[in-house]
Amino acid sequence: MRTLIFASRNTKEILRDLITLIFGLGFPLVLMVLLSAINASIPESAAEATKLFQIQNLAPGISVFGLSFISLFSAMLISKDRTTSFILRLFTSPLKASQFILGYTLPLVPLALIQTAVCYIAALFLGLEINLNTLLAIVVNIPIALVFIALGLLFGTMFNEKAVGGICGALLTNLSAWFSNIWFDTALVGGWFETLSNLMPFVHAVMAARYAVSGEFSEIMPELWWVIGYAVILLCVSVAVFTVKMKRNK
């Protein structure tokens, strides 16, 4: 019950930050529209080279990329609390570190689902066929949403508000963009770049979403297990780091 009350408070804090909320929802949609327009103007002879910009591939990729902004929400939320006396009062409550992290996480999961759904609804008007596979693709995005949330909570626990703005607002979004197979096939680059991409969760999340949209169900879990593993590890690390911070401030 205490965790739910804390989560309710965090929901109100998120909804107050309308500018970040609108940017997080709107920017990925603008990118999808622009790239779809570019794809539409490319001659059919070059269609194979730009297949990543076709809406059935682009929409799942943009839906994953858009979730990178969720990390900024979680990081800003927890870092703001750390700079006020509010977090010190919370540390005197019976809540454990895991309950704190859960209280920060719970409001962001529905936001991630809404953001993903909005992305696919927009893709409908760009030619994507909406069916049950689309609903599966929305669910498939939950693990990568947890990865971004956990990263935001981890950075927000470790750094101040100004620092997390640069880390989650610039660095993390660029990492998720370049190492995710959204804009180009990392296999074409090859070498260390492809290896590094495959070690990160972003490319696996994008591929899982694309397999869900295309109905290649047997291919989803081999990609998604990688993302789930990252989500579990990062959430555990976030709890551990938050526990250390609690002990230092008590």
- Per-position pLDDT tens, the chain of length 250: 777 887 888 878 777 777 767 777 777 888 888 877 777 676 665 555 456 678 888 899 999 998 988 888 888 888 887 777 666 666 666 778 788 888 889 889 998 999 999 999 989 888 888 899 999 999 999 999 999 999 999 998 888 777 887 777 778 888 888 888 888 788 878 888 889 999 999 999 999 999 999 999 999 999 999 999 999 999 999 999 888 877 766 5
Cβ count near 131 (within 10 Å): 10
Residue 225 pLDDT? 95
Task: Name the burial class of residue 219, with classes exposed (0-12), middle (13-18) and buried (19+) by CB atoms within 10 angstroms of its CB.
Answer: middle
Task: For Cα atoms 174, 28, 46, give the angle at the middle one, nearest 5 degrees.
Answer: 85
Residue 74 pLDDT? 86
Residue 218 pLDDT? 92
The reply to whether 139 falls in a domain is: yes
Nearest partner of 169 among 82, 78, 74, judged by Cα: 74
Residue 180 pLDDT? 85
The reply to whether 166 falls in a domain is: yes
The reply to whether 43 falls in a domain is: no
> What is the helix, strand, coil percentage profile of the chain, to 5?
85, 0, 15
Say how far apart CA 159 and CA 31 lie, in whole Å: 30
Say how far apart CA 15 and CA 178 lie, in whole Å: 30
The reply to whether 44 falls in a domain is: no
The reply to whether 233 falls in a domain is: yes
The reply to whether 45 falls in a domain is: no
Q: Is 183 helix (H, G, I), strand (E, B) or coil?
A: coil
Tokens at 207, concatenated: 């591929």
User: What is the count of structural domains for the chain?
Assistant: 1
Per the structure, the complete domain to which residue 122 belongs is given by 2-38+50-249
The reply to whether 68 falls in a domain is: yes
The reply to whether 108 falls in a domain is: yes
In one-letter notation, the amino acid at residue 20 is T
Residue 86 pLDDT? 66
80, 160 in Cβ contact below 8 A? no
Residue 120 pLDDT? 92
Residue 50 pLDDT? 58
pTM of this structure: 0.90
